[in-house]
Structure 1
Amino acid sequence: MFRHRPVRSVTVVLGTALVALAATVPAGAHPSGTTQALPAVTPRAETAPLYDDEAGGNADADDPAIWRNAAQPDRSLVIATAKEGGLRIYDLDARQVQAVPAPPAAGPDDAPGRFNNVDLVHGLRLPSGRADVAVTTDRGHDRLRIHRIAPGRAGGPLVDVTDPAAPPVFSADQAEINDQNTAYGLATWTDAASGRSYALVSRRNRTTVALLELTPTAAGTVTYRKLRSLDLPSSFRLPDGTSWAPCGEPGELPQVEGMVVDPANGMLYAGQEDVGIWRVRADLTGAAPKLVDRVREYGVPGVYDEETEECTAGADPGFGGTRLSADVEGLTLLTEADGDGYLLASSQGDDTFALYDRELEDANEYEGGFRVTASADGSVDGSEECDGAAVLNAPLGSKYPNGLLVVQDGHDTPVAGDRAATNFAFVDLGDLMDRVDD
């Protein structure tokens, strides 16, 4: 039933040039089994738990985006993916105001809709005028889904404006879609020079990142067309002259999920989960991507065990970084009023977050990190194994006058029985910056 056919797309394969480039990044010493002591911040609120089982609607929290209501900042929204549970929309009290279901399966033997990552486009030109939209990767159907944001609308603020004829992003047919090497990570980008809006989409189980232009139709819907794609490396030459590839299930390559574009310089930052953070032009042209930082596990050999479906790690040669522990996830951009700010990445393996300078001249220098921890009385949980994060440095009314950070919690507690739960934690950005600046 699940046949595989080659993807018919124009791909920029950088191959050996990228592998050689990765080897030029200086190796960092490994921590000796411990992680650096980092400042901690406690969330102000958290959403209700989501359960990835039939009783919970197969909902699994993953990736958030923050939409600011310019007219009424107190009524701003957090739009978040819940995998097969679709989208969840929350107010600033972390209360759900709308649930948007993922589309059903195309047929009885086909994969159902599964919303993976979400990002926003502001002021997209539609026939009815400009509108803010939420763009989501539907991993189950290998498509983008686009929802117009209509605050105050009866029934909820999100309205589906996806063109019914929108094509698969990577797959040639339904059989290939069912293989689920499909649309995965996502970052949106509007080119200031042309005013055109794009989505950068990664492919599950592959190293590919594709650039898609969002194009409104006369019917008021939104579709897209692929312009080009780029393949990041799947194996790397190490400083000792050996070759290394991250361990994974046979046939699967080290994928990218967390991505963000810096609008100030048009640079894309892409987190290759078992490798590190890459920087490349958002239009996927020009100089070869640069590996900004690596995970601690970079260069560690591993053997996949089919029985346990786990990788057994070998001896660490010491070529990894010191700030990120695989998987690297949840990339987001903290922009400050003076134009400075940080690239923020979640270090899933040690439940921390890393901050990097946005300045290219500083080579995205590491600026520190932090943790999101539970309150002392246990009324609000922290964040563990964070999949996705979003930050907005803008006043959001009386609740978050200094801005907001939203992070996914991969292990929400307390747990109801033996059901694994996930959710989203809301962190006051003023609280965070006070901790980081200290």
Structure 2
Amino acid sequence: MRMALNALTLIPALALGACAGMREIPRPVYPAVDVAATGETTPVGSANADAADDPAIWRNTANPAASLILGTDKKAGLYVYGLDGKVRDFVAAGALNNVDLREARPGYVLVAASDRSDLAEPKIALFRLDGATGKLSSLGALPFLGAAHAPAEAYGFCMGKGLALGELARAYVVLKDGTVAESVLAEEAGRITARHLRSVKFATQSEGCVVDDRTGQLYVAEEDVGIWQVDLRAAMLKPLAFAMVGKEAGLVDDVEGLALAPEGRDGGMLVASSQGDNAYALFDLATAAPRGRFRIAAGRFGATSDTDGIELITGDFGPDWRGGLFVAQDGDNAPSAQNFKLLAWDAILRAVNEKNP
């Protein structure tokens, strides 16, 4: 059962654990089924570096096989890939960390990313994606906190749908100190603006986040602690413990990327990158109950390790991904630079369900 907790209450326990001897405690490795990747992207351009970070997926409803994947090179900018993994476009945009997109209105695909090029002034980098050509148009980078804020580094990022007339989307920037800032992205006189609304603070470094547009729930990964749920419909943003690091939830720190597999009005699953043991954990959205774990196995396209960002979109993506597409960053794609692996969501579900009938 989820409990209403203040994220700060977990710090004493974490600090005590850190002080229990000076040697590093080996991380656990929990059981998980193996699933092979179905494809991969061309490596990012920043070689010999921790560079690839976070993917987003645009599903072409008219022609699913022509859908597109976006991925950040946090040393250089933003890539667009086809489902064949080949580069369709690249925009040199600096240190972009996490990326998300929303179809703000019919035919208008708004792409946004956390911009950490300026470590004192967090910004949201904005782009428009042309689904027909796979090309990105840069719309600039917007500060959103105002002149009086303390220095802060933009880190994690996700978007939710606009909630009022004139809103293109809601943006959630996870600052490296654990603050999550909610802003409205709106169009005024042909320009996009960012207006900060409110914030919620987690005790330690956080990054991964995802918004369930159906239910108005924000999920945030506090890396060494676990996953929190925040009701965006409430007047005050209050974190609820969803799944904490440990054997019960099957999460090994760091907890990194988060993705959703919605089902019906409010059901489905949350997927999390359990980076500490190179696995991915599934949870029931309604109950937070663990639903299984998997790893991306070595095969034609290789295994994954140290995964940061993940993304998942259900639905038809063509012959190789009839039941949905799961994309995971690969932290060690040696001898090449880092890249993103593509998996069939229905293959993941089959493997997990066979292990956990």
Name structure 1 gaps, 5 residues minimum.
Answer: 1-15, 25-30, 103-112, 235-253, 297-319
1: CA distance, partners of 2:64 / 2:163: 25
Shift of 1:51: 5.4
Q: Trace 1:253-268 onto structure 2 (pairs within 5 A).
A: 254-268=204-218
TM-score (norm 2): 0.85
Shift of 1:49: 2.4
Tell me the matched-pair count.
335
The alignment partner of 1:396 has SS state of coil
- Are residues 1:72 and 2:63 paired? yes
Summarize the Cα distance change of 1:60–1:350 in structure 2 as closer, same or farther, 3 Å threshold.
Answer: same
Q: Trace 1:105-254 onto structure 2 (pairs within 5 A).
A: 113-124=94-105, 131-141=108-118, 142-153=122-133, 156-162=134-140, 166-169=142-145, 181-191=152-162, 196=167, 197-204=169-176, 206-219=177-190, 221-232=191-202, 234=203, 254=204
Amino acid at match of 1:145: A
The alignment partner of 2:219 has SS state of strand
Larger strand proportion, structure 1 or 2?
A: 2
2: CA distance, partners of 1:412 / 1:160: 29
Summarize the Cα distance change of 1:262–1:380 in structure 2 as closer, same or farther, 3 Å threshold.
Answer: same
1: CA distance, partners of 2:221 / 2:27: 23
2: CA distance, partners of 1:39 / 1:389: 18
Q: Cα deviation per residue 1:4-25 (whole Å; 9 max; x = unaligned)?
A: xxxxxxxxxxxx954458999x
Task: Give the CA RMSD over aligned residues.
Answer: 2.8
2: CA distance, partners of 1:47 / 1:91: 8
Shift of 1:274: 1.1
CA contact (8 A) 1:77 1:92 kept: yes
Amino acid at match of 2:194: Y
2: CA distance, partners of 1:123 / 1:168: 19
1: CA distance, partners of 2:58 / 2:27: 39
- Are residues 1:426 and 2:342 paired? yes
Shift of 1:191: 4.7
Q: Cα deviation per residue 1:394-431 (whole Å; 9 max; x = unaligned)?
A: 11123322110000011113x15xxxx31100001121
TM-score (norm 1): 0.70
From 47, 65, 68, give the equivalent of 2:41.
47
Aligned to 1:316: none
2: CA distance, partners of 1:69 / 1:387: 25
| Percent pairwise identity | 33
2: CA distance, partners of 1:169 / 1:64: 25
2: CA distance, partners of 1:380 / 1:335: 27
2: CA distance, partners of 1:194 / 1:217: 12
From 412, 425, 428, give the equivalent of 2:333.
412
Aligned to 2:273: 346
Name structure 2 gaps, 5 residues minimum.
Answer: 14-24
Summarize the Cα distance change of 1:289–1:347 in structure 2 as closer, same or farther, 3 Å threshold.
Answer: same
Q: Cα deviation per residue 1:278-301 (whole Å; 9 max; x = unaligned)?
A: 1112357436311222224xxxxx
Larger Rg: 1
Amino acid at match of 1:228: R
Q: Cα deviation per residue 1:168-191 (whole Å; 9 max; x = unaligned)?
A: 547759xx76xxx31111111115
Summarize the Cα distance change of 1:203–1:192 in structure 2 as closer, same or farther, 3 Å threshold.
Answer: closer
1: CA distance, partners of 2:55 / 2:102: 14
Amino acid at match of 1:427: L
The alignment partner of 1:50 has SS state of coil
CA contact (8 A) 2:50 2:331 kept: no
Amino acid at match of 2:77: G
The alignment partner of 1:93 has SS state of coil
Q: Trace 1:328-343 onto structure 2 (pairs within 5 A).
A: 328-336=255-263, 340-343=267-270
Q: Cα deviation per residue 1:226-271 (whole Å; 9 max; x = unaligned)?
A: 0111212x2xxxxxxxxxxxxxxxxxxx211100111221111100
CA contact (8 A) 2:28 2:252 kept: no
- Are residues 1:35 and 2:26 paired? no
The alignment partner of 1:411 has SS state of coil
Aligned to 2:22: none
CA contact (8 A) 1:115 1:139 kept: yes
